Amino acid sequence: MTKKKKIKTLILISVSLLFLILAYSFVNSYYTKHTREAELIELPDIPLHDLSGNNFNIEQLEGLKILVFMDPDCIYCKNQIKEFKELRKRLSYLTIVGISEQPLEKLKDYINTEPFFNEPKNFMTHDYTSKMADHFWIGTTPHLLIYDENNQLIKQNKGFINADKLIAILEKVQ
Amino acid sequence: MKLKYFNLFFLLCLAYLGIGIITQELLKTEILLAETLLEQFTRDQVIEVVNFNRKWEWITYILLPIILLLKIAVIAKIIDVGAFFIDKKVSYSKLFSAVLKAEFIFLVAPVLKLGWFYFFKTDFGLVDLQNFYPLSLINITGYENLKSWFIYPLQALNLIEMAYWFLLAYQIKKLLEIDFGKSFGIVMSSYGVVLLIWIIAVMFFTLNMS
Closest CA to B189 of B170, B173, B165, B171: B165
CB A160 within 8 A of CB A76: yes
Answer yes or no: do B197 and A79 touch at CB < 8 A: no
Give the count of beta carbons closer than 10 Å to the beta carbon of residue B203: 23
Asked whether residue B44 carries a pLDDT value surpassing 70, the answer given is yes
- CA A106 centroid distance within chain: 22
B66 touching A (Cβ < 8 Å) = no
CB contacts of B208 in chain A (<8 Å) are 29
Minimal-distance CA residue of chain B relative to A34:
B207
Q: What pLDDT does A140 receive?
A: 87
Q: What length does chain A have?
A: 174
Confidence grade of residue A118 (pLDDT, cut at 50, 70, 90): confident
Give me the mean pLDDT over the B79-86 stretch.
92
> Number of residue pairs across A and B with CB atoms under 8 Å?
39
- CA A97 centroid distance within chain: 12
Q: What pLDDT does B21 receive?
A: 92
CB A46 within 8 A of CB A132: yes
Confidence grade of residue A158 (pLDDT, cut at 50, 70, 90): confident
CATH 3.40.30.10 fits domain A48-173: yes
Which among A26, A76, A79 is the nearest to B207, CB-wise?
Answer: A26
Asked whether residue B39 carries a pLDDT value surpassing 80, the answer given is no
Answer yes or no: do A26 and B39 touch at CB < 8 A: no
Answer yes or no: do B193 and A15 touch at CB < 8 A: yes
Q: Give me the percent of chain A exceeding a pLDDT of 90.
A: 33
Minimal-distance CA residue of chain A relative to B203:
A26
What rounded mean pLDDT belongs to chain B? 91
Q: What pLDDT does B1 receive?
A: 59
Q: Which run of H or E residues covers position A144? A: strand A143-147
For β-strands A95-100 and A65-69, DSSP reports them as parallel
B26 touching A (Cβ < 8 Å) = no
Beta strands in chain B (DSSP E): none
Lowest mean pLDDT among A23-27, A91-95, A140-144, A151-155: A91-95
Which among A18, A25, A79 is the nearest to B204, CB-wise?
Answer: A25
Q: Pick B102 or A52 by higher pLDDT.
A: B102
CB contacts of A13 in chain B (<8 Å) are none
Give me the mean pLDDT over the B46-74 stretch.
91
Condensed to tens digits (0 to 9), the pLDDT of residues A44-94 reads: 888 788 888 888 888 888 889 999 999 988 888 988 999 999 998 888 888
Q: Pick B201 or A128 by higher pLDDT.
A: B201
